[in-house]
Structures are given as structure tokens and as C-alpha cells.
Amino acid sequence: MTSTFPDISISTDRLVLRPFEEADVPALTAMMNDELVAAWTAIPQPYTEDAARAWALESAPAERVSGHGIDFAITEFLTQRLVGVAQLRHTDWRIRSSELSYVVASWARGEGYASEASLAVAHWLFRDQKFERIELRTAAGNTASQQVAQKIGCISEGVLRNAFIARSRTEDGGWADIRTDLIVWSLLPEDLDGIPGPPADANGFPYPEWN
């Protein structure tokens, strides 16, 4: 029997991580057409609204149901604006391990949202889902993503040489593929000792269902 993650939302002081909705599609489209997102991910470019809708409303829910992972829309608590995406992928239910990745909209960078969302996912995965390992992989030149990994307490485990294809703008405005290394990071439950998790709500449950 395949294990699956529950259909839940996670709250922090500033953010709500929840399932994607139809209303997120325009903001998701704009986010994924950003230059840095295009450079450091395999997202198709240009990224259309149809592609965003299909992923948010079909592929993302199917990923959770299949047991392979879970996708969260990262939104601001006060404004409910979409500020990013947090994903768990390549989930191994036997060894209780999953790979974490994140994207933050260009206008929301520099606010610590990636770190805050990643820590919330990590606390939930370790405490509630009883997982034992989170893995991150960052391209060698993606220093911003590496800083997030370090900030949340990840340990660098090594380098996968020539294991990733990044993209760079060409003179004619297109994209050129650039092969590069991947840095592998890990986070274990004990790495979060002393790092506070999301506060509990009035019922003592830190991850209320999204209403």
C-alpha cells in the first residue's frame, strides 16, 4: 500500500503553506517566468498560464496522492499573496526521506521567506510525519539557495559532478544550457534541536487544516 502525505496546510508567523488554488495561477505564471527561476530550474520557458494551471490543479495534487511528494503554495499570512513554492519530491517511505526544493517570487526575495517556509516543512516532516532525512540539491552557482540550506541547518555532504543543467541568456534573448555540479545537503531531526518550530494554535495543533 502506497503511503501519502495528508492534504494539509502549515502556518508560521508570517506565512501559510497550503494547497494550490485556481486563484494562484496568474501569480504562479509570473513567478516561473522570472530570470533566476528559469536559470536554476528545469521549468519550461516561457511558462504559460495553461502550464501553471495544469501543474497547480492537476499535477501537484496527483503528486501527493501518488505518494511521491507534496507541493505547497507559500502565501503571506496577512495579504494571502503567493510568494513562493515549497516542494517535497522523490519521497522514500521505507527510509523516511524526501527531497526539498523551493522557489520565491522575485518581488519577495530578501525577506527570509524561503528559510521560514523550509523550516516549517522540516519541522512538520520530522515531528508529524516521523521522517528521518531531508535532502536538498543546489546548483554550484546558486549561492542564494545554498545560503537557505545553511541557514536552516543543513550539512553539506558532497558534490555530484556535472549532474545538473542550468541555463544562461544568449545574445539573441534565448536560453543556452550550461552543465554544472550539484551540491548535496542533508537535514536530520537532530539538526533542528534548539530551533523553534511553528507555534501551536489554540487547540495545541501547529498545522491547522486550511479553510
Say if CB 121 and CB 72 are below 8 A apart. yes
Residue % of the chain over a pLDDT of 70: 91
Q: Cα–Cα–Cα angle for 46, 49, 51, nearest 5°?
A: 75
Q: How confident is the model at residue 210 (pLDDT cuts 50, 70, 90)?
A: very low
pLDDT (average), residues 7-11: 97
In the chain, which residue ranges form alpha helices assigned H by DSSP?
A: 25-32, 35-40, 49-54, 60-66, 113-123, 143-151
CA 211 to chain centre: 22
pLDDT of residue 206: 43
In 33-100, which residue ranges form alpha helices assigned H by DSSP?
A: 35-40, 49-54, 60-66
Q: How confident is the model at residue 2 (pLDDT cuts 50, 70, 90)?
A: low
> Does the structure show a pLDDT above 80 at 106?
yes
| Cell numbers that stand for 54 in this block | 495544469
- 162 sits in the region (left: phi over 0; alpha: psi -120 to 50; else beta) called left
pLDDT (average), residues 90-107: 97
Q: Of 82, 20, 79, 84, give the one whose Cα is nearest residue 53.
A: 20
Query: If you average pLDDT over every residue of the chain, what do you get?
Result: 92
Q: Which residue has the higher pLDDT, 203 or 22?
A: 22
pLDDT in tens, 14-53: 999 999 999 999 999 999 999 999 999 999 999 999 999 9
Q: How confident is the model at residue 173 (pLDDT cuts 50, 70, 90)?
A: confident
CA distances (Å), 169 to each of 32, 141, 173, 190, in order? 16, 15, 6, 41
pLDDT (average), residues 137-163: 97
Q: How confident is the model at residue 196 (pLDDT cuts 50, 70, 90)?
A: low
> Does the structure show a pLDDT above 50 at 204?
no
pLDDT (average), residues 195-199: 59
